[in-house]
Each structure stands twice: as structure tokens, then as C-alpha cells.
Structure 1
Amino acid sequence: MPTTATLAAVLWDMDGTLIDSEPIWIAQQFAVAEQHGGTWSTEQGLALVGADMHDTALAVQAAGVDLEAAELVATLERAVIDSLHETVPWRPGARELLTALQQQGIPCAIATTSSHEMAALVAGAAPDGAISVVVGAEDVTRTKPSPEPYLRAAELLGVRIEHCVAVEDSSNGLASAMASGAATLAVPNDAVLPDAGDFTTWQTLAGRTVSDLAALLG
């Protein structure tokens, strides 16, 4: 049986996986649409879970929002960051697992399609020292579903990707994690996930242990 010694690192998606931020994103998409002449729906917001910010900007523009892409992205991200400064809505079991991993000396990274600034804010709100590396959208040449974010995170941690577990909640993220070579864990939230693939599904992180994560390497 694998042991925790075989687990080199855990690589975390952020939005919807570590933190329950998707409702915040969707609320801000509604606000931008209302303020700038567009129309929006929850279904449109959910369809963007796991998408990069370029695709998000295109979708919101297509819904009638009259803003340049860069301004639109900046407006959305600033509003979400402001919300996270007030409170970070951790997903069930996430903080507990981060604490347990930190106590056992297993490093963690965030690999996200959101900005480095936002990911650094979340890393700073995590249990002290638990998240030591952040890879945001601007830190890679290709975002998810490319494997580059996860490969970059493993590189910065100085570990082999095949000795890592990547935790995701979206189809794009799962594709990225699986292509990287990491053992891939899906924790469903708002997004519709594939029925099958080279990944394990847990319905929640609550109650899970470091040994449970390590066992995924087997």
C-alpha cells in the first residue's frame, strides 16, 4: 500500500475546489451585465466554471456587455478580490486537509486560471505555511485545459508530477491535471463533470485524510 512518504505534494485548483468562489464570480457577472447593457443567467455563469478569463470575457461580451476584454476581466477580478478580502469561503474539509498536509511536511500549490493576485490572497488566508507556491493565469503561457499550470506548480515545488495529487472541480481542470501526469481527484461542486476518466471522485473533502490522498497514487 502507498504511504504518505510517496506523496510529494498536493496541487490545488482554487475556484470551486479550495474555496466556494463560483457564486461570487457569477454574482459579479450579473452585476457587470446589469451595469453595462447585457443580460446574464446562472446557467451562463455555470457554463464558465473552469474557463480562463479570456473565454469568460468573450462570453460576457457576447451577452451584450459593452466593455473591452481587458477592462471586463479587471472589473470582474477586482470585485471578486474585494469580496475575498472580506471573507474566504473555504470548501468543506479544505482547511483541515491543508493543516494536516502542513503538519506532515507535504507542500501544497495553487494552480488556477484566476490571477496570481487572487491566488496569493487565498494562499495567505490558508493555514500558516500550508500553500508555498502559487501559479496564476499570468504565470503560464497556456492555461487549463493545458497541463502547463500543474507542471509549473510541480516544477516550482521541486517535485515530480507523478508523485503529486491534483484536486479539481471542472472539466477543463480535470483535463489539465490528467494531462500533466498527476494523480487526479475530482471533487464535484457546481460544474458538470465527465462520467468517466483517469480520475477518482470524492463527493467531499470533509473527513478525508492525508493517507486518503496518498492512496490515490496507487
Structure 2
Amino acid sequence: MTLAPRGVLQGILWDMDGTSIDSAPLWNTGIRAAAAEMGVEWDESDDAVVRGHGMWSVAARFRQKKATLTDAVETVALIERHTVESAIIMSPVWLPGVRELLEACAGEGVRCALVTMSGRRSVEAILGDSGLDLFDVIVSGSDVAQPKPHPEPYLTGMDRLGLAADSCVALEDSLVGITAAVAAGVTTIAVNAPAAVQVTGPVVRWQSLSGRSLDDVRDVHAAASPGARTGGDAA
């Protein structure tokens, strides 16, 4: 594999749920429909436990709550089927500033990978053809053996882009995703992250991508030299 030049921003690695797309209503619908089908009582406290962990974590939670279906593969398939049924009749709801930044990347040759723990079928249904076309690479939960917070999803994304970690920035909203990106060696911007998510190391916090430009991302990347990564909020 030939890597792009180091030290210059060449790629952005995007989380999907909660970072790029407001997909929570779709997943909540799918999870609750599956929970009702399997005799599981599910509420917001359960949502908090599994946030950012992907559907395998949801399946494990279902088992803990004595679901009638205990096979994880079948449970995830059921959740995704209900989610896809909702997604195919709805257009993707992009979070503020996301689509504009993706289009700027396309215009300036910065490559983009979607790195999500949602299954491939769900990703395709949620984004639709027009959304999928905005990314050069898609890494879904169906493509990796180790989900976030393991670094494999981000390492896979960079490998498929042909980029080194110091040529990329990751955009994430959850502690699980931030941990995965940092473990993969990527400077990370925590976007829409809850206040409880502690920002340390090569991470800065943005409240939103609204009004943010590609130059803003470049500034974060340029400031993250090995000896100067301090973490914290960015104006």
C-alpha cells in the first residue's frame, strides 16, 4: 500500500450515529420494536448504557434482561430489520454543518471514510445512495471483528483510504468512539459529545459542526504535533 504524504490533512474519518446523522430516532424505533417482540422492557437508562457501543452491546443487554431470543446474531438482525423498515421511508437527517463539510472535502481532495458500528444493511438504508456517495470508504460493524472502542474500525478505515494516522482527523461523539480513534493514533474532534465525556490527549471538543470549515479541521490537525497535544475545548 502506498501512503499519502505525512503531516498534511489528507482524510477525515467520520462516525455516523450522533456525529454525522441524527439516526437516534431510527435506532430507538428499531430497538424498541425488537424489545417488545422479545418481551424486554427498554427505557432511556438502557439507551445510556449502550450508547456508542453498537448493536452487539444492545444484544448483550437484551440477554441480561431475559429476552426470549438469546442468539446475538439473530437479535442484531431483528433490530436492524426494524430499523431498516423505518429508514427506507425517511431521508437522512444530517446534523448541522456535516453535509457542507463533506462537500468541501470532496471539492478539495480530502478523502472521507465513514467508520460506524452500525451494520452494512442499516448504513445503506439510513444514508441512501446520495449519502453513501459522499464517502470514499464505508467501514461498518459488518466489516470488522473488533468493534469500537477497539482501534480496528479506524485502522481499517485508514487502510482502505491508504492514509497514515498522522494524515487524518476523526470526528466522534461518544467515549467509545473517541477511545477507538485515539487508540488508532488519530487526532480526534469530539463533536456533539455529552459533557460527561472527558476530553484528554489528542482530542478537542466542538459543540457542533455548524459553521465549521475544512480550514478549521486543518487547524486542529496542524496543532496536534506529537509534542503539543494537550486536549480541551476549541472555540
Q: TM-score if structure 1 supplies the norm length?
A: 0.90
Q: Is the 8 A contact 2:111 2:136 kept in 1?
A: yes
Offset of 1:123 from its aligned partner? 6.8
Matched, 1:126 2:131: yes
Q: Which amino acid aligns with 1:12?
A: W
Question: What is the correspondence of 1:66-215 to structure 2 with a 5 Å cutoff?
Answer: 66-67=68-69, 68-86=71-89, 87-121=91-125, 122=127, 124-126=129-131, 129-189=133-193, 192-215=196-219
Q: Which amino acid aligns with 2:50?
A: L
If asked which structure has higher relative contact order (CA below 8 Å, sep 6+), I would say: 1
Q: Which amino acid aligns with 1:134?
A: I
Offset of 1:173 from its aligned partner? 0.2
Q: Is the 8 A contact 2:19 2:173 kept in 1?
A: yes
Q: Is the 8 A contact 1:147 1:179 kept in 2?
A: yes
Note the alpha carbon deviations across 1:67-107, whole angstroms, 9 max, x for none: 13222101111222232222211111111111111111111
* Count of aligned pairs between the two proteins: 213
Change (3 A) 1:118 1:27: closer
In 1: Cα distance, 2:67 partner to 2:84 partner? 21
Change (3 A) 1:46 1:31: same
Offset of 1:192 from its aligned partner? 4.3
Q: Which amino acid aligns with 2:84?
A: I
Q: Is the 8 A contact 2:20 2:98 kept in 1?
A: yes
2:21 to 16, 19, 22: 19
Alignment RMSD, CA only? Answer: 2.0
What 5-or-longer segments of structure 2 have no aligned partner? 1-6, 223-235
Q: TM-score if structure 2 supplies the norm length?
A: 0.83
Q: Which amino acid aligns with 1:24?
A: L
Offset of 1:190 from its aligned partner? 6.1
Change (3 A) 1:198 1:191: same
Secondary structure of 1:208's match?
Answer: coil
Offset of 1:194 from its aligned partner? 2.0
Change (3 A) 1:172 1:100: same
Match of 2:46 in 1: 44
Offset of 1:148 from its aligned partner? 1.0
Identity in percent: 35
Q: Which amino acid aligns with 1:82?
A: E
